[in-house]
């Protein structure tokens, strides 16, 4: 069974494909201008999608919006590979 | 996949919009809600002409040469034709839309008007420095997310003493992330209907202008005067329903009509509105 982090990554990359953004973006690429290029409405839509599918999301629970895909995924737990290595 | 980029968006709907929004493809300024749309649309153009100083003589030292005007986001050339016909300006219209260029060129040819239209980006127009007396941006800036680049480019191509005149939908208050998330379906309908727009407060236009060597002359909220536009567009949707359905189909017509209801709510709760702005190149 995929971890929440892995499910979140699939959801985000599918979402980026659907809105014609770079779905292969690096984990550390900025989510907004000069990076993946999410605008505020797209960010709100992603936030709602993640909450619908995973029960919570880092955009509406944090004081500061996540700035990278990695920060989004970290909300759902540690990187599986990194956790195994540690 | 739906593409919300301006050029593709305009290409798909320009012809239908002319039926829905009127030939000029922009809002109206209403003295009374019952004013005909064409009259109100013309009044917005008149207001732009007035605050943009389009009735003034050509630049000093040019022996009566006409004002050189750059129309950024010229659409299908409706307001531009009036500038040339009534005020004799020397006009270059630019838009990212190939359909817009084709339509504007055809409009000018049919009317026997001089003027040229080129496919260019208003935020990186590639035109020479200090080559225009006026930069005219009528309801086009909301489709150019890099607002500062638009104003910086306008300032760059203006001659000293030249003027930027602009009108558009504006944001009248801050919309927080939580509110945007709650109202995302409304904003998604607007995006589907009108393209990937971003609205800014008039103050932000002014700040960009000041930063890029322009002195603000006029900054006016005309939200109330433009509010009856939605009822007029709704009436057009009913009147031209069959023709519009043939051009864009039922889904897009439905999005347009739903957009009107949403915009009326956003106008009424003072989230969005309409502003006009003019600034002069210092030098």
CB atoms within 10 A of CB B213: 17
Which of A44, A60, A66 is the mutation pick for testing B, counting most B CBs within 10 A? A44
Nearest CB partner across the interface for A41, out of B3, B178, B180: B180
pLDDT at B11: 58
Question: Can you give the CATH number for the domain in which B128 is found?
Answer: 3.40.50.150
Position B109 in a domain: yes
- Hey, which residues of B are catalytic here? 139
pLDDT at A29 over 60: yes
Position B144 in a domain: yes
pLDDT, tens only, B208-238 = 999 999 999 999 999 999 999 999 999 999 9
pLDDT, tens only, B71-114 = 999 988 999 999 999 999 999 999 998 888 988 999 999 999 99
Task: Give mean pLDDT, residues A46-73.
Answer: 92
Residues of chain A contacting B145 with CB distance shorter than 8 Å = 39
Residue B258 confidence class, pLDDT cut points 50, 70, 90: very high
pLDDT, tens only, B141-168 = 999 989 999 999 999 999 999 999 999 9
Cα–Cα–Cα angle for B131, B135, B140, rounded to 5 degrees: 140
Structural domain that includes position B116: 6-281
Domain count within chain B: 1
Position B146 in a domain: yes
CB atoms within 10 A of CB A86: 7
The interface residues of chain A toward chain B in range 24-83, judged by CB-CB distance below 8 A, are 39-41, 43-45, 47-48, 59-60, 65
pTM greater than the 0.80 cutoff = yes
Position B68 in a domain: yes
pLDDT at A36: 93
Position B43 in a domain: yes
pLDDT at B4 over 80: no
Position B188 in a domain: yes
pLDDT at A52 over 80: yes
Residues of chain B contacting A18 with CB distance shorter than 8 Å = 1
| Token pair 């002319």: residue | B18
Q: What is the ipTM of this complex?
A: 0.81
Position B1 in a domain: no
């Amino acid at each position: 069974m995929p971890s929440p982090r892995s499910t979140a990554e699939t959801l985000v990359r599918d979402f980026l494909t659907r809105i014609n953004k770079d779905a292969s973006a690096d984990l550390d690429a900025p989510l907004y201008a000069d990076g993946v290029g999410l605008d505020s409405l797209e960010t709100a839509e992603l936030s709602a999608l993640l909450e619908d599918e995973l029960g919570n999301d880092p955009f509406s629970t944090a004081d500061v919006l996540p700035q990278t895909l990695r920060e989004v995924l970290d909300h759902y737990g540690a990187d599986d590979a990194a956790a195994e290595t540690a | 996949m739906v593409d919300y980029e301006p050029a593709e968006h305009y290409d798909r709907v320009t012809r239908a919009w002319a039926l829905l929004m009127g030939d000029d493809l922009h809002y109206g300024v209403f003295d009374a809600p019952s004013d005909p749309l064409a009259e109100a649309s013309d009044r917005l153009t008149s207001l732009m002409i007035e605050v943009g100083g389009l009735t003034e003589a050509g630049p000093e030292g040019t022996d009566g040469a006409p004002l050189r005007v750059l129309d950024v986001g010229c659409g299908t050339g409706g307001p531009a034709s009036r500038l040339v016909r009534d005020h004799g300006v020397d006009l270059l219209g630019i838009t990212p839309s190939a359909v817009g260029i084709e339509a504007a060129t055809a409009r000018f040819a049919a009317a026997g008007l001089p003027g040229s239209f080129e496919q260019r980006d208003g935020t990186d127009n590639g035109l020479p420095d200090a080559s225009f007396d006026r930069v005219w941006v009528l309801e086009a800036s909301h489709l150019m997310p890099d607002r500062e680049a638009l104003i910086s480019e306008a300032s760059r191509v203006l001659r000293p003493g030249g003027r930027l005149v602009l009108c558009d939908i504006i944001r009248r208050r801050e919309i927080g992330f939580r509110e945007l998330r709650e109202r995302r379906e409304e904003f998604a309908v607007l995006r589907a209907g009108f393209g990937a727009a971003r609205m800014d407060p008039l103050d932000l236009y002014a700040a960009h202008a000041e930063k890029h060597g322009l002195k603000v002359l006029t900054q006016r909220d005309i939200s109330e005067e433009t509010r009856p536009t939605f009822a007029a567009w709704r009436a057009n949707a009913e009147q031209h329903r069959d023709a519009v359905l043939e051009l864009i189909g039922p889904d897009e017509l439905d999005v347009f009509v739903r957009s009107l209801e949403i915009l009326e709510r956003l106008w009424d709760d003072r989230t969005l509105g309409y502003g006009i702005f003019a600034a002069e190149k210092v030098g």
